[in-house]
A and B are shown apart, each in its own frame.
Chain A
Amino acid sequence: MNLNQLAGRTANYLSRELALDTNKIDTLRFGLEIIFAALIKGIILLSLARLLGILPEVAFAMVCGAVYRLLSGGAHCSGYWRCLTLGVFTYLGAGELGIYLGRYLSINLPVFLLLAGYLLSFLCVLALVPGEVPYKKITNITERNMFKVLSVVYLSLWLGVSIIVLRYAGSSLALAGLIAVMTQTISFSPPGYKIVHQLDNLLAGLTGLFMERRYQANEADR
């Protein structure tokens, strides 16, 4: 059962129990799908980060990347479990890489890296935001400009906060945030769409292979 079906069944059950209006069921399904998706992803990502001992870096990267993604859009996987896998790997990778690079980079270099990341993302935002997402095509020029402005404002805030974090909390946190922001910048650029699409296909292929083997094993048992 996928997340959409799970939310749909839950919405049907709740609407029956509470004798809800039938035209509210789909809205309820949408809300439940968002809540389930956030809970599952948040719990899995933060638990794994805690187990690996990189919770602060992953949490900071998650906040930096998620808010930016909310404003700028970008490429998507075609299923929730593939999205979960890719998202968890991305943010755990950002945390690990932040810690690794933090050990080896001199004190001044992260500041220059942050500035370079900001400038590159700034230019990409002006040219490409809002990235196209399924179910929500933004064609209105005013609305498109609003998302561009919001993304630039957010990037400026992120740069300021990152420099403060770099000064007072250490470079690994700031670098993890930078990697998350750069990953998000790539995800709404044309090469990013191609990469996410290919990774999505790869994960779908792996899932298909696994399911086929399990089916064959079940058939052999009979």
Chain B
Amino acid sequence: MKLTVKIIKRLMFTPVVTLALFVAVIGIKPVCFFWFYQPAPPDKCE
């Protein structure tokens, strides 16, 4: 049962994480992404 939950979670979360990492890579480059807000980029990208 525990293993099934773990597999379901992994299947659900992996696309979210992949998308977030992809957006982070694009999001670092422009001057700013949003009107009146700028999320702090990760340290290593400064």
Query: Which residues of chain B (4-28) have a CB below 8 Å from chain A?
Result: 9-10, 13-14, 16-17, 19-25, 27-28
Q: Is B35 in contact with A83, judged by CB distance below 8 angstroms? A: yes
Q: How many A-B residue pairs have CB under 8 A?
A: 124
Q: Is A27 in contact with B21, judged by CB distance below 8 angstroms? A: yes
A4 is an interface residue with CB less than 8 A from chain B = yes
B26 CB, min distance to chain A CBs, angstroms? 9
Question: Which of these, B30, B40, B46, contacts A4 with CB under 8 Å?
Answer: B40
Interface size (A, Cβ < 8 Å)?
A: 53
Q: Is B21 in contact with A74, judged by CB distance below 8 angstroms? A: no
Knowing A17-B10, A28-B24, A30-B42 touch, does A73 contact B31 (C-beta < 8 A)? yes
Q: Is A70 in contact with B30, judged by CB distance below 8 angstroms? A: yes
0/1 interface trace, chain A 181-222, chain B, CB 8 Å (1 if under):
000000100000000100000000000000000000000000
21 contacts between A and B (CB under 8 A): A3-B39, A4-B39, A4-B40, A11-B20, A14-B13, A18-B10, A20-B17, A23-B44, A28-B20, A31-B22, A34-B23, A41-B35, A70-B32, A71-B30, A75-B36, A83-B34, A87-B34, A90-B35, A130-B31, A135-B40, A138-B31
